[in-house]
A and B are shown apart, each in its own frame.
Chain A
Amino acid sequence: MIYTERVCFLISPLSSFSLVSLLTPLFSLLMVLRALSLYRRRMQTWRELLLWTVLWIGIGFVAWAPSVLDYLPPVVGIKSGVNVLIFFGFVMLFYGFFRLFVKVEELERKIVEMTRERALGKDDKDDKDDKDDKEEDDEEDRKFS
């Protein structure tokens, strides 16, 4: 009986199905798979993978079984549907912020690449000009000798 009480928060969503409690864990699962894919492509270290996975599993789990928060101190509890909405609103806002951050980083990276290409390209050009000048000087030397 005690056991049933302890795990009842895990099965409660099945009895009271809601779209949020189904879609959010699915979204979290997708994000975890994305993190795994990045790790396999050597674009993430295992620490980053762990952090990302724990974060999204946590979000998915809370969405699946909001009653789990009742076990935490009352200040963290999500007790009404409106609060759940606010909670996920914040999650999406943070996600949006992260996406924007990544976009800005991407733009910054492109500017750096362009600047670098110009810096290195200019040097190649200087080298070529130096070589041409040297060849011209040699040619003139040959003419006068």
Chain B
Amino acid sequence: MKRCILVPVYNEGKVFEKWFPALLKVAQETGSGVIVVDDGSDEKVYFDLKEFPEYDEKVFFLRHEVNCGVGAALETGLQFARKRGAEMVLTIDGDGQHSPEDLKLLMRVLEKGEVDVVNGSRFKKNQVIPLARRLANFFANILNFLLSGFWVTDSQSGMKGFSKRALDDLSLQTPGYEWCTDVFREAAWNKWRVEEVPISVTYNLYTLSKGQSFAVGLDMVARLVVRSLMK
């Protein structure tokens, strides 16, 4: 399993069932394995693979018994992928806001071998994004720059790709949404090469309700700042 697509999910229910076949299709085309980490959802996440029999051994469902946060779920998936000998890992949000087709773009960039981390940027593409999201992301980008030294256009993107070099050293210490900043701090420390590629995003009532709210953003900022002070 050289390529791996990592999906953290938490209470996604029917939405996950709807968009997951599209992801499996991309995994099939690119020969990737899929790791789904259920972060303590109320109802256990499951997908019937009878339409994808050849994928029965390439899709792994891991489950956190309690909800630990998206960063923790990704770290679990990363550890699992490393154990399985993955050489490239791509992450995608579980709420269906991303297009799985965009994973191919990230893979292409990583395959060139000139980049260690690829960040899928929703703001590099001309598309409809609510103003509140744009503003929140802009402030998050500033904070990300202050804490990591990397200026990126979409620091909070859930679609990222990691090369073997990055994968070997990457260790997400923060359990929540701060994982995105964690990635760039690690990148700065390890001198990884980072590139951004434009990706599509679909905002609807569901994805907006699942994303980072203002309160979550404030909590994230407080955690990042205080953790930085007390480290």
> A interface vs B, CB < 8 Å?
38, 42-45, 47-48, 51-52, 55, 98-99, 101-102, 105, 108-109, 111-112, 115-116, 118-120, 122-123
Contacts and interface: CB of A to CB of B under 8 A. Distances in A.
The B interface is mostly helix, strand or loop, or mixed, namely helix
B80 interface: yes
The A interface is mostly helix, strand or loop, or mixed, namely helix
A116 B149 contact: no
Interface of B: 37, 40, 60, 62-66, 68-69, 72, 75-76, 79-80, 83, 146-149, 173, 175, 185, 188-189, 226-231
Contacts of A51: 228-229
Contacts of A105: 227
A71 to B, nearest CB: 27
Contact of A48 (B40, B69, B75, B229): B229
B4 to A, nearest CB: 14
Given A47-B146, A116-B79, A119-B76, A52 B65 contact: no
Nearest to B188: A45
B155 to A, nearest CB: 16
A120 B79 CA distance: 8
Given A42-B189, A47-B147, A115 B230 contact: no
